[in-house]
Amino acid sequence: MRLNGTTGIVVACVLVAAGSIAVAQPTKRVDPASLKNLSPEEQMQVCMQACMEAATPGPEHAHLARGVGTWNGKVTMYMPGMDPVVNQCVTTIRPSVDGRFVQIDSKGDMGEMGPFEGHGVCGYDNVAKTYQSVWYDCMGTGMAIGTGELSSDGKTMTWTLAFTCPVTKAPAQMTQIERVTGPNTMVLEMHAPNPITGEVSKVMDIEYTRDHSQAAATGAR
């Protein structure tokens, strides 16, 4: 099969973005219209350079990797008019796709609601210049998708996640705050709107302690 110039450029960019971990020097922003004046070979070079930069892990990815390991969590759930409910969970964070993302797998016990299982992926988009996250679990069939903002001291990540409320059937938004409290401890807080009143409050927090057998292998956070 023969590829024309445009098709060849697209395929090359996909392959480079999917597999390259080469360190590329940043280039100036390119006006797509200006590429029309370049030869197919020059267009290919510009596109491949851009894709290499997009695919190269950087300091933001290294920051996410600091959480790699196994974490034991104390889960406290807060429901209006009821006493807090405390349970346990174990969350494993591991690198994915050569360090471009981290994958999160969590299992626990929700008491009368039964066992819990949830999974997520976090990363940093070099092109959009933002942290991104996707989360899904056994409490529904939808996904919570959003972006994160890291504090200047690197100790607090605030995620803003969009989801569809199962009660109102309308789009909703929740905030997840991850705070590093020590070399091997962190706290996760989740704030979400009450579907009846619309009032936003803390609905859950998890006090995490890194498994000591994993801490030596992954490095202290």
Q: What is the pLDDT of residue 35?
A: 78
On whether the CB atoms of residues 137 and 117 are closer than 8 A, the answer is yes
- E-state strands within 28-129: 69-77, 85-96, 101-109, 115-125
What pLDDT, on a 0 to 100 scale, did the predictor assign at position 93?
97
What is the per-residue pLDDT for 39?
Answer: 84
Annotated domain spans of the chain: 5-56, 61-218
Cα–Cα distance for residue pair 24/59, rounded to 1 Å: 14
- What 3-state DSSP class applies to 79? coil
- Please tell me the pTM assigned to this model: 0.81
pLDDT at 42: 84
pLDDT at position 41: 86
Whether 118 contacts 137, CB under 8 Å: yes
Residues of the chain where predicted confidence (pLDDT) is lower than 70: 1-30, 214-221
Domain 61-218, CATH 2.30.40.10 — does that match?
no
CB 173 within 8 A of CB 160: yes
Give the pLDDT score at 5.
41
pLDDT at residue 30 in the model: 63
d(CA 88, CA 110): 8
Task: Report the pLDDT value the prediction gives residue 18, as an integer from 0 to 100.
Answer: 43
